[in-house]
Amino acid sequence: MLTDRALLAARIREAHHLELPSFTTGAGGDTSITVVAEALATENVTLTAVISSRRFDAPPRRWDAAASGTVITVSVTSSDSKSGTRRHVGLSEPEAWARSVCAEFAEDDRQRIYLLGGNNPDTGRPEHGLAVYRFYLDQDSTPIRVPPQLVDTPHYWIGSLH
């Protein structure tokens, strides 16, 4: 049985499948895609999802093995559809956007999505109406846990939909 969050992610994936990037083969390059859409779960809200990927190389550190691959960041800002001012929405729809970006991976692999919260990942500063998620892939485009060397801001594992 699908949960409300799973249904919302499926609806987003269906509505925006042409705009969402694929990361299953050669996610390697640095890219950024912006998708602007009306919220499906909240009236009068426009969501702007910025999906970016960049390569990382994390050298070994004491007990941590070296890691390299791609980090995918999904930043979702919410704003009032009429005024354009930032507006808070619950995390269910931003999380559904992150899950829809990673929908091409098996359920076990999608469990490796992390919430960074409402902090801008570039500045570390909190922003109203922002939710940021991250997903890590190794060099073979296989989802991996966040390499400890890359944790410069708290990463909260969001777990499965079940």
Q: How many domains does the chain have?
A: 1
Residue 162 inside a domain? The answer is no
Residue 85 inside a domain? The answer is yes
Domain region containing 118: 4-24+32-59+67-157
Residue 79 inside a domain? The answer is yes
Residue 73, class by beta-carbon neighbours within 10 Å (0-12 exposed, 13-18 middle, 19+ buried)?
buried
Residue 101 inside a domain? The answer is yes
Nearest alpha-carbon partner for 33 in 22, 44, 46: 22
**Over the stretch 45-100, which tens digit does the pLDDT of each residue have?**
999 999 999 999 988 888 888 899 999 999 999 999 999 999 988 888 999 999 99
32: helix, coil or strand?
A: strand
Q: What span, in angstroms and rounded, lies between the C-alpha atoms of 22 and 38?
A: 22
Predicted TM-score (pTM) of the model is 0.89
